Structure 1
């Protein structure tokens, strides 16, 4: 009986030991499970913080990139507004700020520079807008303890070598890109994680198209390249005064040729001074006067200097014919016949080229010792009326002078006599024009043989040396010193805005 009790006691002890061991193992397992659960919870919180930072980076960078992309529409509008100012300058009257191609090119270059500065400024404005969001926490989920915010932003303007242009040591200050760093922080249940988003915003190649342009019509004062008889002898003389003309020229509303009618009391010398004071060229002006002596002469008519102004007088104005030998730097147009009993001598004696234009020439004296003078006989614009070309006993063209004749409008008998008697010396020459290709002017003697000149052992035809046929009427007038400005409609090129592409590179560092 005693042995049985002992056996039962041992069995109970074994059961108790097994129970204790089971609970010990269970406690160990539970403790391990609790510890593992805590580790997983920590990892989840860290992951949530990283995810929060990523969400914040995505939120802020997407919004910022969208704002930058929208700038291209604003830049296109601003560029067009600046081009409109250039277009307004080009439209009549053409402004002084854009009246040459060089000035227009510089205007467009200035637009490029200004638009680049505006774009840089607008990008910096966008960065400043980001700065207002610093430390402002945003929660994507209302029930979760997760948020994100911007910690700081830094901006650096870089040149093409990616050097900071704001540093004193940087020589090249031209901004080619802007580097923007954004530090974003994500938070999950008190755990913080920071990411850095780096933007590289590249400047566009240009704001104006180098390949496309538009045409803008304007009125330009240019030398007339298609001169006609009517350009020399205007069919309708002007009625506006010279003072009114000059006022309109200064306002850029006058149309060339600049022609005016002198009024009693006005003087050529005063008008020339006014033209020069306005920094204009006297050669561009033509004055019609009813009295040569009253308008051109001062106390006397000696050494009258036109300073390049063209003066148009009537055929009946004897004071012009009687004082031709006293002209200096003149452009005198006699609207009809030059008839005088005096000699035409010593023209152009001051060495400055001048022009004398008449429809008809009838003088009793001689023409000689002329220098630096273009003498034009153009005839009448009526094919039924041929002009006289007569002189006394001697006609000589010399010393940088040119005698110019429209042979279609001059009597053939006078041309035949001119062919026999005209003499050339120094660098004097003759130009002529005929619309008939078969009609020629040659230097012949009374028997019809070619006039010749001997130089050394060689003999030359005088026609070959001294006479030139001009190919067109316009060339004929131009080579004989006639230059007339005209107002023409000219299409000028203006660039158009090019749609810019704001190139953005984005990198994220963990």
Structure 2
């Protein structure tokens, strides 16, 4: 009987231990599930905030690109207004600044209207960003435009929806061209002058292409719509720009001077050459710049990868590389406007990239981008000129503050 009691007690103890273990396991399992769920919620919230940050970067870049893209037009407008008013003895620098500021306000407003009306932009599977609200204010008497915007980061996965918003403020300025108010753009002028790359009083006969579009050992004036394929050991002037929507173009051991837009389908090679453009440049494919200097007094758009080897690239406007950008072998890139690289940006040792405006690299950045505090400093670094006769320096856009809501 005693032995049976002992067996009963032992069995009871075993059962109690089993119940205790199961209870502890259940508590631990519930805790683990709760922690995992909490971590997932934290990750979702964090990524939603990151989506909003990406949206702020995108809107900021779009506005900056518009500013840099219209800056030359506004500069020309102001100079023409000054000339016209001076001829009529009715010159008022303040009034001209007010009109120019109003024009810039209109351009920036168009960008904001377009972005607010768009559907949310997709970043990843469940994350998007959208400009949900904005306010644009212009103090035209001092040439200041202030934009306050609210960007939402959105997460949507089935019935689960999250939203985080960020408010930002971006400021643009139109300078007063009154010489008594404006500081000089610089006095020690090197050549070439980035504000004026196309030479005056060019006298050259029309280019004579042979061998299916080849220009060789000539100093001549190029036709905007000609089907040139190869320019070698020549100096060619394009007074009306160049437009080659199909086919290839190669430039070797030559000097190119162009005024107006320069559009090329496939720019296979720029080698041992000097390329100066008073206008905007675009190419569907731009393979390599080797042992050359390329200067663009306007915007630059490349729809492919681009590589610089022992070369210099200097751009005064907005620069958009839709593929990879590689800067190597003691190359130098100097950009006064904004820079957008859709894929990788690689700056190898002994090469350098200076920028005065804003920049966005959508993929991997290898190397260092050096931000410059003024346009004149940029020209000094890049050994080019910016004559005082060209008017005051335009301040780059400024992000005044960012608030996480």
TM-score by length of 2: 0.43
Structure of greater relative contact order (alpha carbons < 8 Å, 6+ residues apart): 1
TM-score by length of 1: 0.35
Q: Which has the higher helix share?
A: 1
